[in-house]
Structure 1
Amino acid sequence: MSIYDPAPSPWAARMLAIFRIVAGGMFITFGTMKLFGYPANPMPNQPPIELWSQVGIGGVLELVGGMLIVLGLLTRPTAFILAGMMAVAYFQFHQPSAFWPATNGGTPAVLYCFFYLYLVAAGPGAWSLDGVIARSRGTRRATPLRTVVA
C-alpha cells in the first residue's frame, strides 16, 4: 500500500467512528460546564446560567447532542443541528471581536461546525446505533467512506 492509496475499506469507517466518539465526548463537557459547572469554567465569576437563555439552550444541545453523536443515534439530523449551532456561536460570540478564529477564540466552534457538516454527509461510520437500527430493519446501508477504484 502506498501513502497515496486510500485506507483499506473497514479502517476508514472505524476511524470515523472513533473520531465521532471522541469529539462527541469532548462536546458533552461544554454542555456539562454550562449546565452543571463541571468541569470548572475557565472564565471566573460567570453568573449562573438560565436554562431558557440562549447559553442555557446551547448547553442542553451540547449535552444531549453530544450524547447522540457518541452513540451514533440520529447522527445526521443531530449533526446538522449542531453544525448550525456552532456557526451561530462563531458569528455571534467570536467573530465580532476579531476576524481570524485564531485571534478571537473561535477555532473550536469552526472545527466543530465543519466536523458536524462532515458527519451529515458521511454518516456515523462504524459502531453506531444508527447502523444497528438499519441492520435490524433489513435496510442495506451504503458502506460509509467506500472508495471507488477505477
Structure 2
Amino acid sequence: MSLDRVSKYAPEILGIARVVIGLLFLEHGTSKLFDFPHGPVQPAMGSLIWFQGIIELVGGALFAVGFLTRPVAFILAGDMAVAYFMAHASKGFFPMLNGGDAAILYCFVFLVYFVTGPGRWAADASAK
C-alpha cells in the first residue's frame, strides 16, 4: 500500500482524533468540577484545581468541536506543561513513575494540533 493512498486521509484522521482527544480532556474537567464520572471532592471555587477544571472543561469542548482550534490547542499545551511541572515533576524524574505521562502526552498532542490545524469536520472549517 503506497503512502499516498494512506496520507490522503490525514485530514479525516486528524478530525476524528481531535474529537476523541477533546472529549477525553473534557472528562478531566467534569471529574474535577462535577465529580463525574468520578473524581476528587469538588474544589473550592477560585482554587487552582477549580481553574484547571474550567480550562479542561471549556478547552476540551472547544477542541472537540474544532472551534478556535489553534489558539485553544496552544493554551491547552501550555496548561499541560505547567500542570506537569507543578504537580508531577517534583515527584521524580520518570514520567511513568511521577504520574505525569498523560500531561506530557496531552501537551505534545495539543502542540501537533496547534501546528497542523483541526483536520476535517471542525467548526473552524465551516466558518471559511
| Fold in common (TM above 0.5) | yes
* Identical-residue share of aligned pairs (%): 45
Structure number with bigger Rg: 1
Instruction: Name the CA distance, whole Å, in 2 between partners of 1:8 and 1:84.
Output: 29
Mapped to 2, the partners of 1:8 and 1:109 lie a distance apart of 28
Number of equivalenced pairs: 127
Please give the per-residue CA displacement for 1:82-108, whole angstroms capped at 9, x wherever unaligned: 000000000110010011111111111
Query: Aligned partners of 1:31, 1:40: CA distance in 2, in Å?
Result: 11
Aligned letter for 1:49?
P
TM-score in terms of structure 1 length: 0.81
* Residue 78 of structure 2 is aligned to residue 84 of structure 1: yes
Normalised by the size of structure 2, how large is the TM-score?
Answer: 0.95
Q: d(CA) in 1 for partners of 2:43 and 2:123? A: 32
Counting only pairs closer than 5 Å after superposition, residues 59-138 of structure 1 correspond to structure 2 as 59-134=53-128
Amino acid at match of 1:89: A
When the two chains are superposed, the root-mean-square deviation of aligned CA atoms in Å is 1.1
Match of 2:37, SS state, is coil
Structure 1, unaligned runs of 5 or more:
135-150
The whole-number CA distance in structure 2 between the counterparts of 1:128 and 1:70 is 8
The structure carrying a bigger helix percent of its residues is 2
| Cα deviation, residue 50, structure 1 | 1.4
Structure 2 residue ranges without an equivalent (≥5): none
Taking the aligned partners of 1:28 and 1:12, their CA distance within structure 2 comes to 24
Runs ≥4 residues deviating over 6 A: none
CA distance in 2, matches of 1:8, 1:71: 23
What is the CA-CA distance between 1:47 and the residue it aligns to? Answer: 4.3
